[in-house]
Amino acid sequence: MRVLIALLSFAFVLPGCTETMDRALDAKEAETASIAGYGEIRTYLDARLDEAPKDIDWEPATKRDRVDMLMISGGGAFSVGVLSAWSATKTRPRFDIVTGVSTGALIAPFAFLGSAYDDTLVHLYTSGVAEELASSKRASGLIGPSLLKADPLRRMIEQFITPAILRQVAAEHCKGRRLLVLTTNLDTQRAVVWNMGAIAASGRPDALRLFQDIMVASASIPGVYPAVMIKAESGGHRFEEMHSDGGSASQVLMLPQALLTSSHRLGPAKRTAVNFYVIVNNALMPEFAKTPDTTRFVIARAFSIFVKSQTQSALTALYNYSKLTGAHFHLASIDVQVPYSMLDPFNTQYMCAVYSLGYAELMAGTLWRDSPVFR
């Protein structure tokens, strides 16, 4: 969220469009599209309960008496600190479900695979690697497809999401664990939930590329990075869908909206304890700042208020669902105002500061809240 707000402060992004690929003919074709050869590897955040995938690959298959679900928002370094400290205390659960949105989608596969990848995440978020993501501005500026080129982001994902990582995700999926990532289909205005484990376990030769494409799409801030085109088909017609940042629809991938408004439990049996762990890599409290009275800063500030309010509403819905179904709610977010420059969104010093904050608060036992408090 902070990265988007920062980059919005550079320019007021005007709508641009270059339509050179074959796209869905109409809304009906777009809504019935699927990814050829993969079966039910995705659903929609706004899907009705009767529209949920029937494939068993979606249900967490735990043999324990509990289901642990980890949800990671956009941002990143704060949650990396939390995960590292959690590993150090040897109390970190082996999560049955892990979800990621936006840059949280970059963390999710490594959080899913466990503590062995803590060092990888620390390197990604505190070594200065992230600063390279804003290093390739387009000469076309506002009239092109995006302010920045996708090359650094894609190179980073291709470097760290390797065939070996894909095989490990597939193996964990086959054990009944689930890894989910959110993108936004810009044409249909719907949030798409991707079953990344099912993709990894598909055995298809293009599975790694699709896995990487979805991660790039989820982290591609609209207008800042170009959208990702994903091949789909409907009724024998093949076309491409335009996918972008999942954070456009929801800052945290919790549960399908229909489930949040129902009394259906997540666990396979009534005796199963359900634990929701949500890590929000941003502050949910009001943050004072003197806003310059110029168009770009006013727009960026207003957008930050909108995103914060959106996140608060989603967390309130999950909390109410938890109370209704007897699940345990655990929330972590940045609870102090860390100095931050809107002109330097990937600043390594800031990343290290929020990493240290997450680490220290978990080690001190002051991190988790059992209800959504926003002041």
CA 204 to centroid of chain Cα atoms: 24
β-pair type (228-234, 237-245): antiparallel
Q: Give the model confidence (pLDDT) of 68-110 as tens digits.
A: 999 999 888 999 999 999 999 999 999 999 999 998 999 999 9
Helices and strands per DSSP (H, E), number in the chain:
12, 9
DSSP, res 89: T
By CB atoms closer than 10 A (0-12, 13-18, 19+), residue 296 is middle
Residue 187 is predicted with a pLDDT of: 92
Cβ–Cβ < 8 Å for 218, 251 = no
Q: Give the model confidence (pLDDT) of 157-184 as tens digits.
A: 999 999 999 999 999 999 999 999 999 9
Cβ–Cβ < 8 Å for 172, 249 = no
CA 73 to centroid of chain Cα atoms: 5
With b for 16 or more beta-carbon neighbours within 10 A and e for fewer, the 305-344 pattern comes to eebbebbbebbebbbebbeebebebbbbbbeeeeebebee
Residue (of 296, 189, 187) closest to 248 by Cα position: 189
3/9 Cα distance (integer angstroms): 10
How many residues does this entry show for the chain?
375
- Two structure tokens written together for 197: 């484990």
Residue 133 is predicted with a pLDDT of: 63
CA angle 362, 249, 217 (to 5 degrees): 85
Q: Give the model confidence (pLDDT) of 110-151 as tens digits.
A: 999 999 999 999 999 998 877 766 665 544 444 445 456 777
Q: For the ranges 132-136, 199-203, 358-362, which has the lowest average pLDDT?
A: 132-136
Residue 296 is predicted with a pLDDT of: 75
Residue (of 166, 147, 144, 279) closest to 212 by Cα position: 166
SS3 43: strand
Helices (H), the chain: 2-8, 27-31, 77-88, 104-113, 118-126, 151-160, 163-174, 196-200, 207-218, 257-260, 295-325, 348-364
Q: Give the model confidence (pLDDT) of 17-76 as tens digits.
A: 444 458 888 989 998 999 999 999 999 999 888 887 777 778 888 777 889 999 999 888
